[in-house]
């Protein structure tokens, strides 16, 4: 947890919503100079904080509508802090809660150096990152449809399809295997949706591959030297990281990527783990996917996985492999060196 501790003359807490915002401005002594409800309009916000802009920091909680406020502050050369939503919820919990109280608490925490920071992702890279996240959403929806077809086939105890129906050429005649007309229509609906998702996903991937290479071509190439990380996964990882230098150590990176379980301990007694939902779920997915792909057509990788299974058990082997791939990717980007399989397998 990183706190914002820089000192300013004025501290502005913003309780931000889609169409409204409640702002509170404090001076160094904690006196309230402005406490007002405004429409979520850039000009009205700038007019309100105008008298305090010479040395002010603005803070808002990390929620879905923070983009425009962060971009506005960057454009106007105003310091901006993005508060980590999960950590802030634990810190400023109270008996009464409303927008006026919340904005004051945010400003007070900011003044006291107790605002837990979230990363303000660069505006230039943000649309591509969000487009890649949308692509992952469509892929999951497509996978749900394929799973429904397989489950329906099992419900009626019909013979297995024999081939992977994820490929379009293997989906011919799948619906006709079901004797009931209602089930056939249900399966045909799924198949038509899958075909539509295929077109959307292919078009989206082509667009991203053509337009996202200029961000960090060297980093993109280096990530693809890691077995299991291809064109799309390398883009997902690169755009979710943003800047690898924001992670001073590999431990902080794998923690952010949800690849380690954080210990929960008090008075020398271990009470399990915590913080599983704190971090980047998209990086967690990417490295978990990479761990599975790492084993394909990779005899050395399969041997390494068997070693992990013998030592830690089957359930933990893939998780450990994903963790190791996360660490390897960190060093690949940090040191600007290609992946070394021999070194990876020797540890």
3-state helix, strand, coil in the chain (%, to 5): 55, 15, 30
Give me the DSSP letters along 276-295: TTSS-HHHHHHHHHHHHHHT
**Structural tokens at position 55:** 């040395």
Which band of pLDDT confidence, cut at 50, 70 and 90, is reported for residue 142?
very high
**Structural tokens at position 60:** 């808002």
> Taking 80 as the threshold, does the pLDDT of residue 151 lie above it?
yes
The 10s digit of each residue's pLDDT in 64-94 is 899 999 999 999 999 999 999 888 876 666 7
* Per-residue model confidence (pLDDT) at position 275: 66
| 285: Cβ contacts below 8 Å, ≥ 6 apart | 136
The 10s digit of each residue's pLDDT in 212-234 is 766 788 889 999 999 999 999 99
Name the pairing type of β-strands 79-83 and 56-61.
Answer: parallel
Exposure string over 293-311, b if 16+ CB within 10 A, otherwise e: bbbeeeeebeebbeebeee
> Taking 70 as the threshold, does the pLDDT of residue 59 lie above it?
yes
Q: Check: CB of residue 136 under 8 Å from CB of residue 122.
A: no
- Whether the pTM exceeds 0.75: the reply is yes
The 10s digit of each residue's pLDDT in 165-209 is 999 999 999 999 999 999 999 999 999 999 999 999 999 999 998
* Per-residue model confidence (pLDDT) at position 89: 76
**Structural tokens at position 257:** 């990527």
Burial of 198 from C-beta contacts in 10 A (0-12 / 13-18 / 19+): middle
> Taking 90 as the threshold, does the pLDDT of residue 254 lie above it?
yes
Q: Give the rounded distance of the alpha carbon of 96 from its chain centre.
A: 32
Which band of pLDDT confidence, cut at 50, 70 and 90, is reported for residue 272?
low
| 136: Cβ contacts below 8 Å, ≥ 6 apart | 236, 282, 285
User: Distance between CA atoms of 81 and 110, rounded to whole angstroms?
Assistant: 9
Q: Check: CB of residue 106 under 8 Å from CB of residue 61.
A: yes
**Structural tokens at position 29:** 């002594």
User: Distance between CA atoms of 318 and 339, rounded to whole angstroms?
Assistant: 19
The arithmetic mean of pLDDT across residues 287-306, rounded, is 93
Q: Which of 138, 158, 88, 146 is nearest to 118 (CA)?
A: 88
* Per-residue model confidence (pLDDT) at position 315: 80
Share of the chain above pLDDT 70, in %: 97
**Structural tokens at position 61:** 């909680």
């Amino acid at each position: 947890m990183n706190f914002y501790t820089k000192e300013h003359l004025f501290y502005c807490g913003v309780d931000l919503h889609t169409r409204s915002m409640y702002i509170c401005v404090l001076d160094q002594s904690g006196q309230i100079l402005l406490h007002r409800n405004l429409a979520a309009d850039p000009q009205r916000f700038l007019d309100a904080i105008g008298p305090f802009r010479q040395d002010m920091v603005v803070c808002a909680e990390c929620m879905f509508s923070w983009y425009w406020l962060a971009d506005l502050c960057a454009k106007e050369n105003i310091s901006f802090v993005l508060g980590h939503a999960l950590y802030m919820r634990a810190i400023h919990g109270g008996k009464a809660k409303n927008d006026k109280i919340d904005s004051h608490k945010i400003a007070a925490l900011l003044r006291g150096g107790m605002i837990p920071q979230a990363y303000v992702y660069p505006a230039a890279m943000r649309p591509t990152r969000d487009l890649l996240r949308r692509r992952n959403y469509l892929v999951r929806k497509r996978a749900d449809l394929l799973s429904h077809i397989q489950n329906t086939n099992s419900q009626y105890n019909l013979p297995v399809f024999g081939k992977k129906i994820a490929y379009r050429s293997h989906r011919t005649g799948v619906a006709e295997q079901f004797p009931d007309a209602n089930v056939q229509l249900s399966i045909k609906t799924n198949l038509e949706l899958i075909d539509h998702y295929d077109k959307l996903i292919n078009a989206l991937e082509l667009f991203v591959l053509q337009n996202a290479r200029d961000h960090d071509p060297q980093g993109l190439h280096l990530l693809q030297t890691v077995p299991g990380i291809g064109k799309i996964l390398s883009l997902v990882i690169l755009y979710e990281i943003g800047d690898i230098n924001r992670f001073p150590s590999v431990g902080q990176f794998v923690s952010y990527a949800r690849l380690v379980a954080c210990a929960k301990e008090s008075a020398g007694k271990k009470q399990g783990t915590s913080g599983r939902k704190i971090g980047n779920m998209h990086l967690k997915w990417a490295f978990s996917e990479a761990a599975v792909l790492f084993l394909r057509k990779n005899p050395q990788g399969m041997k390494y996985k068997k070693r992990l299974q013998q030592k830690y058990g089957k359930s933990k082997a893939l998780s450990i492999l994903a963790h190791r791939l996360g660490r390897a990717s960190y060093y690949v980007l940090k040191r600007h060196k290609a992946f070394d399989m021999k070194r990876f397998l020797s540890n």
